Every structure is written in structure tokens, then in C-alpha cells.
Amino acid sequence: MLTDVHIIRVLLARLIAARCPLFVFLDGSDERFHSLLLDIDPTLDALIADELHPHRGHQRVRIGMPLRIASRLDGVELRFRSTVRALDTDCAVAAYLLDVPQEIDYREHRDLYRTRVSRTGDLVAHLHSGAHESVRGRVVDISISGVRLAVPAPHPLRPHEEWSCAVTLPNGAFDAPVSILHVRNAHARMGRAGPREDHVGARFRELSAHAARRLGHFMANAQRDLLRARRQPTLST
């Protein structure tokens, strides 16, 4: 069960970006209705969801009603509970304002939520500290909990230190404080010669709603591109 608020925000942002269908159960009923998460409102700290289908589900929705929600993200089942905070019925299709869940049941393997970054489309991050000059690194992979960077040596990064990190993604940049977990000589581990480059693992200590949304959309798009590439037929010569 996941309870970390910034991890929950990233997962919800990925659900929105991937347009994953929701299966919604009303309190006291096992009948399944369908919906879709449309957005996260950071100012209200709330989710915006499409009206329930079939329409008889929507007709039963009331403010304060608890909902049980399930979906699948990258083939992994995800479940959480929420409450209807408000109803917007002014448009042809109604929308609901839902509370952001406090916990999500998401049994995901590490490889599924860690997005590797191709060298041909290098992403960069800049680490800042009041005691040191800025350090630039290439993003090797990124996840909902942290980032791994390839950093040219020498550099001042050491385990257990805390830095500010600015990550630049194709859909924009975000800032987050990080804790350095480990520093390893990547070339020595891989048996490669050339200029020394360390792999630096860092954990996000906090992600804002803005950062979580940006990271979630990037990971969802990267996963979608990967699945699309796997489905491409192999051309024989």
C-alpha cells in the first residue's frame, strides 16, 4: 500500500496522461460503472473525474458519497478510495470533484515504474548546493521515487548529502530536493575505458503537485512509446 503523497500524485498523473479507464463501485453496491480521470486541480488538491456510465450510476452520485475505484496502469492493477466533494452538472457531460486518495494499493515491480532514458535523447539535471558549485548530470533513469544520473568526475557529490535538483524533461522542467543515496564508478563497473563517469542515485525528498504532474506525464508518454515500439512488426530482409 502506497501512502507517500508525491508518489500518489505521480501515479494519478500517469493515469490521467495515459487516459486509463476507471472502474468505479458505489458504496454498498458491487455494480461496476465506468469513468475517466480528467485532471488534478492543485489549488483545490482534488481530482476531476468524468461522469459515471451507464447513466444510472451518475444519477446515484451524491456529494459526500464514498467511491471504490480500480484501474490498470502499465498492466498493473491499482485500487484506491475517494469521496465526492462536488458535482458540476452545468455542461452536457457532468464532472465530479473527488478527494485525492490518502493511499493507493499498487503492487508494481521496480522495472515497471523506472523509466530508462535513451542516450540519443539525453535529458539533463542540475544539482545545486549552497556549499558547492552546480553539478550537471545526464539522466540515466527516473522513477516516481528518484533519479539516477551519469555525472563526469571529479565532482563534489557524496552519499547522505542533500541537494536541490532541477530536472529537464521534454515536457518541461521541475525542481525537487533530493538526498544522495550512492555514488558509483560506472565505467569501472562496466569495464569501459575513457573519461571517468559516476552513476549517482538520488531520492526525491518531496515533489510538488506541479512536479508530480510533469513527471507522471513524462513517464506515461515514455511507457506508451515503448509499448508502441514493441508492437511494431519486425521487418525481415
The answer to whether 98 touches 67, Cβ cutoff 8 Å, is: yes
Contacts of 102 (CB under 8 A, 6+ apart): 3, 8
Averaged confidence pLDDT in the chain = 84
Task: Please state, as a whole number, how many other Cβ atoms lie within 10 Å of the Cβ of residue 120.
Answer: 5
Q: Please list the pLDDT of the chain residue by residue as tens digits (237 residues).
A: 888 887 888 889 888 988 899 999 998 888 999 999 999 888 888 999 999 999 999 999 999 999 999 998 877 899 999 999 999 877 667 899 999 999 999 876 554 466 777 654 578 999 998 877 899 999 998 888 889 999 998 999 999 999 999 999 888 899 999 999 999 986 554 455 556 889 999 999 988 888 888 888 888 877 776 656 655 655 444
Domains located in the chain, CATH noted: 5-111 (2.30.110.10), 114-206 (2.40.10.220)
Which grid coordinates belong to 144? 516516481
CA distance 116 to 128: 23
pLDDT of residue 190: 47
- Please provide residue 116's backbone torsions phi and psi, each rounded to the nearest 5 degrees: -75, 150
